[in-house]
Chain A
Amino acid sequence: MKEELLRVAARVVDTAASMDICCEAFVQKKRHTSIIIESGKVTFGSMDGDYGIGIRVINGRNTGYAYCDERSIEFGLKQALSVARLSAPGCYGFQDDRNYAGTRSIYDNRVATLVTEDGIDLARDIIEGACYDPRVTPSRGGLSFGTLAYAVANSNGVSVYDEGTFLSGSVMTVLKEDGVMVNGDDSQVSRSRDFSFEEIGRKATEKAIGQLGQQGIETATMDVILRPDAAFDILSNTVLPSLNGDAVRKGDSVYVDKMGKPVAAGGITIVDDARHPKGLNTFATDEEGYPSRRTVLADNGVLTGLLYDTYAAIEAGAKPTGNAMHGDRMETGTTYKVSPSTCARNFILEGETMPEEEMIRGVRNGILVDNVLGAHTANKISGDFSVAIYAGHAIRDGEIAFPLKGGMIGGNMPAMLLQAALADDYRLVESGFSPASGYIPSIKFSGVRVSGG
């Protein structure tokens, strides 16, 4: 695979050179197998993949992007060139840092060698795990595994390849009792075979049982603990886009003029670490071939850094941070079909932590929220959001009191971060609406507006 992808990338750059064009090639090959669970049964399986080339050219003060396949490289180059004529003139350049010592992607042979039959067995593990309580049906879920490989080459002599593995599983269980229907959701995503599928099912069922006896909650201001999925869902639609250097430069960010000023509670350090040993976006480089690195965005709460791809860095007079991703808006994952732009890779909150139980014990009147609905509707410039509670519990006098029926939480996430505290239950989380991923724990916020149902 390595030789093949590098050869294709080199061919694009060589062809461009013969046409006297400055170019960057991104060759991407994805493959995955999925198994689907419906109504407690394995019902469907699929194998899918994608293989293509993204070509970016610079012609004088113009730049253009197009995609093609192996048989249409020359056509792709011409397309990119014709598109470049329409572009806004500017200062463009390709990156030339080739210092790739250190980081490699995460490639687990135990994932790479999985076959369909293994997938069916693992899906049955999810079902078995969920069915320990006969009232519960694992109604929808499944798993997916596969590999992603890419090569980048450009006219500055960059030529780099990496590949990695992915594995994920999820299920939603449904519990019906006395005419009331509740559900429980659980999921895991990883680069390695390091989690139990049976446990996904079991946890989903535990969560469904925990939702029996839902009660409404009063409209009030209170402490809110967001578990990792809920927290990242909101963070990735508010804080993450605002940490994009280009957004700050253009005034589209709440962090304009905030460099050196507090943006999080004093004990919290915000990092984007593309080398993290578990990270969903850990690769040797970003998708422009820039070496992966760890960028400290806020050091003990004080804003110290922003994220840049190469074009944005040139415009801002900054250094790239290895955050170029071929991400399409509203999609998880990356694709050669769109040009690269700045995106957080592995977003991490570090600092002093405490066990979640202790955090709950410290709350007199508040709520604990597992998942939310509608985080993508947040105001990405101001960081204001208002979401519905998908699954959560009331906390009374330091103890979990009852599951919540409906209700909403709202606030300004950048402001809320100034009063945040971290638990220690770190977990890998994905953003449903960009390629960004995170490794974060539950977070406690104080004085949050909760609207009762």
Chain B
Amino acid sequence: MIFLIRAVSDALDGRADYYDVRILHVTTTSIEMKNGGVTRAVAGTESGACVRVLFRGAWGFASAPESGKAALGEAADRAARIAKGISETVGEKSELADVEPAVDDVTVPMKKNFMDVPIGEKVDLIRAAHDMIKKYEFVTNDLITYKDTYTVGELYSSEGASVITRMPRVFWQLELAGRKDGQAQSVRRRIGRTSGLEALDDDAPLKMADSAVASLIALLNGKSPPSGPMPVIADPDLAGVFAHEAVGHAAEADLVATGNSCFAGRIGEQIGSDMVTIRDDATLPGMNGSMVYDDEGVKAGNKVLIRNGILNDFIQSRETAAKLGMAPNGGARAESYHGRPLVRMSNTLFEAGDRDFKEMIEGVRLGVYAKGTRGGQVNTAQGFFQFNAQESYLIENGEITKPLRDVSLSGRTLDILKLIDAVGADADTAGVGICGKGQQVPVGQGGPHIRISRCVVGGR
């Protein structure tokens, strides 16, 4: 690789105080099956590279569709020209926090190597869930998506970092649509692991399909939810989404550093009830958002964002760490070679407490038990969020009474964190998300059951 780095260095010709080069080789198989018929199946490999340049405090970035010497040199020249142009106007200079340049070669293991499995076998593997579902008449459509990706990433920096990572990923998703008495509803289940095909072992897709069918039945019988503020109990999956949407995003240090987070200037402050501990942990083997190094070549860490209600840390890139005077913790990720690394989450987890689920329900006179998610969105500056539950139930006088449909929740992060009044002992960390912030990256999430004493429920 020395000759590639030399090509970049020659092309830059002194126009960089710092630079790094990322080279990616991605092998993918992607299958989509609708109602048992394969509607999309693509297998392919792709390579590309990008050069990032810091010159006099200004950034330039350019991508190249191949990793050859000429293409990299050209990208380096473009990145340098942009950085130089911006440096002439830049007021505040970007800097990088010091790290020991890593030299490493990491292979994340696969027990069952999906590269050895022919595409036809993968089709059979995912068809099993459809075969199970098709007997249910109220299911009008089932869509199964499967994707495996093997990414070989190389990162070289002008400081001497040289990190090679080989990362497998498996993603499986089932979407069911159903109809009953004119009601139309849909549910979704996902499996996502940084592992080999063992991610789908033990009939995991069939178990997911089973639970999806049960959810769909509840939804098709669901009534419109009550609206307005009321107590809400979130299941482990939704608690994880809360940790991600409401807390994780506001703890992204690039948002903090640009005055765009309600957490800015609050490190050390009690912002939530002392039952709240939330961390973003990239080190858990196999989870969907796990990684060994981030895309700046920094070891990806376990960041305790809130400890016992006290705001403790942010997710950092080297640039934000320098800006905020904090320690880098390996939180910079890029979707592909088309984009620069941004501050991103990995696996965001709400820590378990000691309460029993039944006991949590018993404390509610009128409220909502919300499970799973169809997604959410957040305004980090003012700190408010919306997310939509997949499946919900009405709680009346301490008991779960009837299913609801289309329940959305909204609230202000800094209020809600203080209103969490019970945290269950039953954490689950299988939550799988795809997080968008201009670029999409796979993330994990999880937690226990949590109870919020007052949260706005939106109905119609």
Residues of A within 8 A of B (CB): 33, 35, 38-51, 64-69, 79, 82-83, 86-88, 90, 116-117, 120, 124, 137, 139-140, 172, 174, 176, 181-183, 219, 250-252, 254, 330-331, 337-339, 372-374, 376-377, 379-382, 384-388, 390, 406-412, 449, 451-453
State the main secondary structure of chain B at its contact with A: strand
- Whether, in the assembled complex, B60 has its beta carbon less than 8 Å from a beta carbon of chain A, the answer is yes
Within B147-202, which residues are at the interface with A (CB < 8 Å)? Answer: 177, 179, 183-186
Take A380-B186, A387-B408, A452-B229 as given contacts and tell me if A45 and B85 are in contact as well, using a CB distance cutoff of 8 Å: yes
Across the interface, A250 reaches (CB within 8 A) one of B89, B140, B186, B384, namely B140
In contact, A49 and B63 (Cβ under 8 angstroms): yes
Across the interface, B60 reaches (CB within 8 A) one of A45, A86, A377, namely A45
What's the least CB distance linking A32 to chain B, in Å? Answer: 10
Kindly list chain B residues whose C-beta atoms are within 8 Å of the C-beta of A83.
38, 41-43, 119
Listed from nearest, the 5 A-B pairs whose CB atoms lie closest are A88-B37, A377-B388, A408-B458, A388-B386, A386-B408
In contact, A382 and B183 (Cβ under 8 angstroms): yes
In contact, A453 and B456 (Cβ under 8 angstroms): yes
In contact, B377 and A373 (Cβ under 8 angstroms): yes
Across the interface, B42 reaches (CB within 8 A) one of A67, A120, A219, namely A67
In contact, B119 and A82 (Cβ under 8 angstroms): yes
What's the least CB distance linking B127 to chain A, in Å? Answer: 10
- Whether, in the assembled complex, B16 has its beta carbon less than 8 Å from a beta carbon of chain A, the answer is no
Cα A90 to Cα B39 in complex, Å, equals: 11
Residue from the set A38, A49, A388 with the largest chain B CB neighbour count within 10 Å: A388
Kindly list chain B residues whose C-beta atoms are within 8 Å of the C-beta of A47.
61-63, 78-79, 82
Cα A33 to Cα B366 in complex, Å, equals: 53
Across the interface, A449 reaches (CB within 8 A) one of B120, B255, B376, B459, namely B459
Cα A373 to Cα B378 in complex, Å, equals: 7
Within B29-45, which residues are at the interface with A (CB < 8 Å)? Answer: 31, 34, 36-44
The total of Cβ contacts below 8 Å across the A-B interface reads: 252
Cα A282 to Cα B186 in complex, Å, equals: 33
Across the interface, A330 reaches (CB within 8 A) one of B60, B120, B141, B440, namely B440
Across the interface, A373 reaches (CB within 8 A) one of B60, B385, B436, namely B385
Across the interface, A46 reaches (CB within 8 A) one of B39, B61, B120, B434, namely B61
Cα A406 to Cα B458 in complex, Å, equals: 11
Kindly list chain A residues whose C-beta atoms are within 8 Å of the C-beta of B101.
none
In contact, A452 and B186 (Cβ under 8 angstroms): no
- Whether, in the assembled complex, B452 has its beta carbon less than 8 Å from a beta carbon of chain A, the answer is no
Across the interface, B386 reaches (CB within 8 A) one of A374, A379, A380, A381, namely A374
- Whether, in the assembled complex, B327 has its beta carbon less than 8 Å from a beta carbon of chain A, the answer is no
- B256-264, B275-283, B309-317, B347-355: which one contacts chain A? B256-264
- Given A48-B339, A406-B412, 10 extra CB contacts under 8 A: A39-B259, A45-B58, A47-B79, A47-B82, A51-B65, A86-B120, A120-B89, A174-B381, A181-B382, A219-B227
Across the interface, B37 reaches (CB within 8 A) one of A87, A219, A250, namely A87
Kindly list chain A residues whose C-beta atoms are within 8 Å of the C-beta of B184.
252, 254, 379, 381-382
Cα A338 to Cα B31 in complex, Å, equals: 11
In contact, B384 and A64 (Cβ under 8 angstroms): no
What's the least CB distance linking B308 to chain A, in Å? Answer: 24
In contact, B44 and A68 (Cβ under 8 angstroms): yes
Kindly list chain B residues whose C-beta atoms are within 8 Å of the C-beta of A380.
186
Take A88-B37, A386-B407, A408-B386 as given contacts and tell me if A451 and B85 are in contact as well, using a CB distance cutoff of 8 Å: no
Kindly list chain B residues whose C-beta atoms are within 8 Å of the C-beta of A82.
119
Cα A377 to Cα B408 in complex, Å, equals: 9
Take A48-B63, A49-B63 as given contacts and tell me if A43 and B410 are in contact as well, using a CB distance cutoff of 8 Å: no
In contact, A116 and B81 (Cβ under 8 angstroms): yes
Which A residue's beta carbon lies closest to that of B31?
Answer: A86
In contact, A79 and B44 (Cβ under 8 angstroms): yes
Residue from the set B90, B228, B262 with the largest chain A CB neighbour count within 10 Å: B228
In contact, B458 and A88 (Cβ under 8 angstroms): no
Cα A138 to Cα B432 in complex, Å, equals: 33
In contact, B61 and A45 (Cβ under 8 angstroms): yes
In contact, A373 and B59 (Cβ under 8 angstroms): no
What's the least CB distance linking A23 to chain B, in Å? Answer: 15
In contact, A44 and B386 (Cβ under 8 angstroms): no
Take A174-B260, A183-B379, A410-B460 as given contacts and tell me if A67 and B44 are in contact as well, using a CB distance cutoff of 8 Å: yes
What's the least CB distance linking B404 to chain A, in Å? Answer: 11
Kindly list chain B residues whose C-beta atoms are within 8 Å of the C-beta of A67.
42, 44
What's the least CB distance linking B394 to chain A, in Å? Answer: 16
Cα A79 to Cα B40 in complex, Å, equals: 12
Across the interface, A384 reaches (CB within 8 A) one of B63, B378, B406, namely B406
